[in-house]
Amino acid sequence: MINFYHKVARFWQLYIELTKVKEENLRLKRKIKELTLKNNRYQESLKTINRLKRLLGLKNEIRSLCLGAMVIGSSPNSWFKSILIDKGTKDGLKIHTPIIAPEGLVGQVINVSSHYAKVLLITDYNSKVSVICSRSRARGIFVGQGSRNGKVEYVLKDEDIKPGDILITSGLEGIFPKGIVVGKVLDVRDQKEGLFKEIWAKTAVNFGHLEEVLVLVGEKTCFPLK
């Protein structure tokens, strides 16, 4: 009988110990979740700080009046590529104001109100940007194709341009300052007919990851030329 009571007492002791272990495990799991959440917030804050540092560095490089803006919306339309930013006429924006990122050209303002502006991205089918090959100075027109890969049109067959070449804005259309990186040449082919090469290029900016931009509201000739 005494042995039975010993067994019962031992069982309850083990039960109590297991309950305490279970409670401790739950407490540790909650603590891990809390620390993980804090770490995620910290990592996100660090990424934001790094992006803003890059924007600040670009802003300091540009000898022009410019200001930062947040991307607060984007067009879900697969044909019309645009974003919405939190700056408007009260900040000096107007139609055709250039928008850039640390990586390169983003687009231009096409619609603006007092507090917001719609930006047509260079990936849009209606977007055309006059570009120069940074290495050879060959000229062409970067035409949006709805994705990061766009066509470079009107480059003559005898021009020196090849995959890997960097394309920059020429400034000829009077909208974008000269010298902003547009993208990199991916493929160059000589067409059997016609005067021009068939060229594809990838934009420098990854528009799917775009969160902050710079708005150029000063003199366009103040951009550092490349």
**25/205: higher pLDDT:** 205
Concatenating the DSSP letter of every residue in 112-146 gives: E-SS-EEEEETTSTT-EEEEEETTT--EEEEE--S
Per CATH, 64-123+208-219 and 128-203 having the same topology is answered: yes
**Amino acid 206: pLDDT:** 93
Is 122 in contact with 150 (CB distance < 8 Å)? yes
Could you read off the pLDDT of 145-201 as tens digits, one per residue? 999 999 999 999 999 999 999 999 998 988 998 888 999 999 999 888 889 999 999
Tallying the residues shown for the chain, one arrives at: 226
Q: In this structure, which topology does domain 128-203 adopt according to CATH?
A: Thrombin, subunit H (2.40.10)
Is 71 in contact with 95 (CB distance < 8 Å)? no
Domain residue ranges of the chain, discontinuous segments joined by +: 1-61, 64-123+208-219, 128-203
CATH homologous superfamily for 64-123+208-219?
Rod shape-determining protein MreC, domain 1 (2.40.10.340)
184 token code pair? 């990199």
- Reported as a pLDDT band with limits 50, 70 and 90, residue 142 is very high
